[in-house]
C-alpha cells in the first residue's frame, strides 16, 4: 500500500537557478558587445587591406573638428605627448581612430605628437571594405 501512495509534487529549484544564471550571463555579454568601444567615431574610413588589431592599450579619437579625445577626455597634442611619456612609450600601442571626414593634416599632427613621446607602435583604425 505504501507504494501506491501519492507523492507530493516538488519544484526543483537548482535547475531553475542554473537557467536564470545562464540567461543573466548571456544578456550581459550581448549588452557588452552592443556597446561600441568608442562612442564618438561612427564612420571609420575603409581599406581593402584592413586586418584585425589587438585591443589598443591607448585609443586616440580624432573628431572632424580637430579635437582629440583620449579615454573620454579632450586634450591637445602636447598633453597627449606628456600623457604617453608618463606611460612607458616604448611599450605602448596607440590606435588612432577618426571619422572618414578627418583632415589628413590633423591625423599627421597627432601621429607627430605620439612619435614625439617616443611611442613607435601606431595603428590606424579602419573598417573592412569587403
d(CA 69, CA 79) in angstroms, rounded, equals 11
Using an 8 Å Cβ cutoff, are 68 and 110 in contact?
yes
pLDDT number for residue 17: 92
In the DSSP assignment, the letter for residue 7 is: P
Q: What is the pLDDT of residue 22?
A: 92
| Structural domains of the chain in order of their starting residue, each with its CATH number | 2-34 (no CATH), 46-128 (3.30.420.270)
Please give the C-alpha separations between residue 21 and each of 2, 24, 29, 32, 35, in angstroms, as whole numbers: 39, 5, 12, 17, 22
The pLDDT value given to residue 21: 93
Give the residues across from 124 on adjacent strands.
Answer: 96
pLDDT at position 28 = 85
- pTM greater than the 0.85 cutoff: no
pLDDT of the residue at 97: 86
pLDDT at 87: 82
Positive or negative, the Cα torsion across 6, 12, 13, 14? positive
pLDDT the model gives residue 65: 83
pLDDT at 24: 92
The set of cell numbers assigned to 16 is 531553475
Residue 64: per-residue pLDDT: 80
User: Could you read off the pLDDT tens digit of each residue along the chain, which spans 130 residues?
Assistant: 566 677 787 888 888 899 999 999 988 887 776 655 545 555 667 777 777 766 557 888 888 887 888 888 899 988 988 888 888 777 788 888 887 788 888 888 888 998 898 888 888 887 766 5
Amino acid at each position: 500500500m505504501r507504494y501506491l501512495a501519492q507523492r507530493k509534487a516538488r519544484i526543483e529549484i537548482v535547475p531553475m537557478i542554473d537557467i536564470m544564471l545562464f540567461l543573466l550571463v548571456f544578456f550581459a555579454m550581448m549588452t557588452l558587445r552592443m556597446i561600441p568601444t568608442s562612442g564618438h567615431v561612427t564612420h571609420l574610413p575603409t581599406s581593402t587591406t584592413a586586418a584585425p588589431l589587438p585591443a589598443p592599450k591607448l585609443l586616440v579619437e580624432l573628431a572632424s573638428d580637430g579635437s582629440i579625445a583620449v579615454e573620454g577626455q579632450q586634450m591637445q597634442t602636447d598633453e597627449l605627448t606628456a600623457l604617453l611619456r608618463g606611460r612607458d612609450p616604448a611599450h605602448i600601442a596607440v590606435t588612432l581612430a577618426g571619422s572618414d571626414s578627418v583632415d589628413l593634416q590633423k591625423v599627421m599632427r597627432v601621429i607627430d605628437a605620439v612619435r614625439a613621446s617616443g611611442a613607435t607602435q601606431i595603428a590606424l583604425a579602419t573598417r573592412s571594405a569587403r
